[in-house]
Structure formats: structure tokens, C-alpha cells
């Protein structure tokens, strides 16, 4: 039986890479995102194993409607990949734009919750399924300017753990993927399309790529059914933890 994966944020980066990897392995993919033209390009590339849904995960009603109206070959979701998310700005908290904070909370937290809550009952009823949440090392390790972005990813980490606790006794699995520096459109979005500033983040080092994370997610999902990979923290070799910061003039 062909299995089906629902991928949020499938128009670029990790999401698009996941769509390509799962289709290559014979899965059906429901690819969702806000950019219709990107989704059409993905469907044209990958063919009939892909069903596209133009969707803003911040809209709870739209999420419910989209999932209730999936065509029959794609209606039973075996795996949910909560990938949609973003970082906005890198200013310190006292000078941040509240609208950017709210957008990160609405997307990274609420959007993930809406999709999970909409799909979880059918997974529990079938006694099988897998929720894969894309978090970040920023949820564990703070950095200047990471403020609300890091806090949203800390939520994803703890929600994943609590979700696993709630699902004890069922065969539904939960995994939190925590990538470090990865060259996708992440920094381009964070810096509002500033190519030079985004490119400087990855200058003179080899970051992770979308394909790397897609490979890890596919491995997690295809582990034996009795195995739950709770979390995967992954960095490029060129990245590590920094020393403690000290303000010497205080």
C-alpha cells in the first residue's frame, strides 16, 4: 500500500527536499505552501504522486478544510512533517518589531499546532502514524537576536516531548528534528530578501542543505515501527557551540 506524507512549507528548502525524497521512494506527497506557482512547479517536476494545496498554516479554518477535502488517494495521512516556519530579523529584543514576533509565533507555533491537531485523531484511530516536527538548535542554544525565534523552537521541542507522552499506548510516533546552519531561503527571509546579508551567513563554510535534512527525516520515518527517534540534533561539521559571552564593562 502506498503511504502518504503531508508536508507543510513545501515550496522551498527542507519541505521541497522532503517532497522530492519521499516521491523518489514511491510515497504519495501532499505538498502545501503559500506560493501557488512554486507548488505547481513541484508538481510538474514530480508528477502524479504529488497533490498540492495552497495553504497558510496560520489559518486554522483553512487547515481543517484543506485536510477534509483531500482526494481519495491522498486522504489518509501516514506522516505529518511540520516544516513551515521562519525567522524574522536579528535585532535585540528591546528594538524588535512586535509584528515580526507575532508572525513567528503564529507560524512556528500555532501553524504547527493546527496541523497536528487536525491530523492526530485519524492517526490514533488507525493506530499508526508519525508526526515529524522541524525545530532548530536555536530551541536549545540561545544567541543574540534569536529571542522569539529561539523561543518558538523551544516550544516545538517541548511540545514534541509532551505529545509523545500523550500518545503512550498507541503506535503513533513523534520526532523533533533540530537542524543547525542550513543554506535554504531561511536567511533570505530573515533579512527581507537582502542577498548579500543572507549569503554572508554561510560564507567560507559548508552548511547543511535541504537534502541532508530530507534524508534524515526519511530515515527517521522508515525506522522499524517499534522504534521512535525522539529527536535528532544536527549541525554542519563547520559549526559548533560558542564560548560563554561576558560583558567586561559591568
> Residue 89 has what pLDDT?
92
Residue 36 confidence (pLDDT): 95
Place of cell 505529545: 163
Q: Which residues are catalytic?
A: 149
Give the pLDDT of residue 188: 81
Mean pLDDT of the chain: 95
List Cβ neighbours of 87 (8 Å cut-off, separation of 6 or more): 104, 138, 146, 149, 186, 189, 190
Q: For the segment 218-227, what is each residue's pLDDT rounded down to a tens digit?
A: 999 999 999 9
At residue 161, φ and ψ (nearest 5 deg) are -65, -45
CB 33 within 8 A of CB 54: yes
Please, where are the H alpha helices in 36-173? 36-46, 60-68, 98-104, 112-126, 147-166
Q: How many residues does the chain have?
A: 250
- Per residue in 76-135, pLDDT (tens digit) is 999 999 999 999 999 999 999 999 999 999 999 999 999 999 999 999 999 999 999 999
What three-state secondary structure class fits 173?
strand
pLDDT number for residue 154: 98
pTM of the model: 0.95
User: What pLDDT score was predicted for residue 189?
Assistant: 82
Of 74, 7, 72, the closest CA to residue 42 belongs to: 7
Q: Pairing relation of β-strands 50-54 and 172-179?
A: unpaired
Locus of grid cell 567560507: 204
Domain annotation for the chain: domains and CATH numbers:
4-234 (3.40.50.720)
Confidence of residue 179 (pLDDT cuts 50, 70, 90): very high
Give pLDDT, residue 65.
96
DSSP 95: G
- pLDDT exceeding 70 applies to what percent of the chain? 100
| Nearest Cα residue to 31 out of 62, 59, 66 | 66
Cell numbers for 9, please give them: 512549507
Residue 57 pLDDT grade (very low, low, confident, very high; cuts 50, 70, 90): very high
pLDDT for 195: 87
Q: What is the mean pLDDT of residues 178-188?
A: 88
Q: Which residues contact 212 (CB under 8 A, 6 or more apart)?
A: 182, 234
pLDDT, average across residues 225-248: 94
Contact, 176 vs 156, CB < 8 A?
yes
Give backbone dihedrals phi and psi of 77, rounded to 5 degrees, phi first.
-85, 120
Cα separation of the two ends of the chain: 64
Amino acid at each position: 500500500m502506498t503511504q502518504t506524507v503531508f508536508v507543510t512549507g513545501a515550496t522551498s528548502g527542507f519541505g521541497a527536499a522532503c517532497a522530492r525524497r519521499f516521491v523518489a521512494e514511491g510515497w504519495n506527497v501532499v505538498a502545501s505552501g503559500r506560493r501557488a506557482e512554486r507548488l505547481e512547479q513541484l508538481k510538474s517536476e514530480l508528477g502524479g504522486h504529488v497533490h498540492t494545496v495552497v495553504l497558510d498554516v496560520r489559518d486554522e479554518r483553512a487547515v481543517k478544510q484543506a485536510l477534509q477535502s483531500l482526494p481519495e488517494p491522498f486522504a489518509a495521512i501516514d506522516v505529518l512533517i511540520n516544516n513551515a516556519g521562519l525567522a524574522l530579523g536579528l535585532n535585540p529584543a528591546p528594538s524588535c518589531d512586535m509584528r515580526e514576533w507575532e508572525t513567528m509565533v503564529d507560524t512556528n507555533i500555532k501553524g504547527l499546532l493546527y496541523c497536528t491537531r487536525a491530523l492526530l485523531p485519524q492517526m490514533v484511530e488507525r493506530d499508526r502514524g508519525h508526526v515529524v516536527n522541524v525545530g532548530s538548535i536555536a530551541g536549545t542554544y540561545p544567541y543574540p537576536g534569536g529571542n522569539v525565534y529561539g523561543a518558538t523552537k523551544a516550544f516545538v521541542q517541548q511540545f514534541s516531548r509532551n505529545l509523545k507522552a500523550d500518545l503512550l499506548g498507541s503506535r503513533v510516533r513523534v520526532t523533533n528534528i533540530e537542524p543547525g546552519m542550513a543554506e535554504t531561503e531561511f536567511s533570505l527571509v530573515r533579512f527581507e530578501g537582502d542577498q548579500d546579508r543572507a549569503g554572508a551567513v554561510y560564507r567560507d563554510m559548508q552548511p547543511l542543505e535541504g537534502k541532508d535534512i530530507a534524508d534524515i527525516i526519511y530515515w527517521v520515518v522508515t525506522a522499524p515501527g517499534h522504534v521512535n527517534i525522539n529527536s535528532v540534533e544536527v549541525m554542519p561539521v563547520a559549526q559548533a557551540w560558542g564560548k560563554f559571552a561576558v560583558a567586561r564593562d559591568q
